[in-house]
Amino acid sequence: MIEQSIENFEGTKNIIVDGGGSSDVEAGIEFIYHMREHLVDIAIATIYGLVVYALVLYINKKIKG
């Protein structure tokens, strides 16, 4: 427990330090695990992005060519 006195504030502030947080490796593994559930969403977004990119290239070619 940490006690601190600040100018116009009198009281205590309790800070709990818990070392039970996940590491970066655990967070990365969890992210990859949950990403598997969204493969269809990721595939649709990727295909959409490629179609838009191809459309932009096509329009650019028509304008310049």
DSSP-H helix ranges across 1-65: 24-35, 39-64
Residues pairing with 9 in the sheet: 6
Alpha carbon 55 to chain centroid distance? 29
Give me the mean pLDDT over the 5-31 stretch: 73
Residues pairing with 13 in the sheet: 2
Q: Looking at residue 20, what is its pLDDT?
A: 62
Identify the CA nearest to 15 among candidates 33, 2, 34: 2
Residues pairing with 2 in the sheet: 13
Q: What is the residue extent of each domain of the chain? A: 24-64
Using pLDDT thresholds of 50, 70 and 90, give the confidence band for residue 50. Answer: very high
pTM assigned to the model: 0.51
Q: Looking at residue 1, what is its pLDDT?
A: 63
Phi, psi of 6 (to 5 degrees): -115, 150
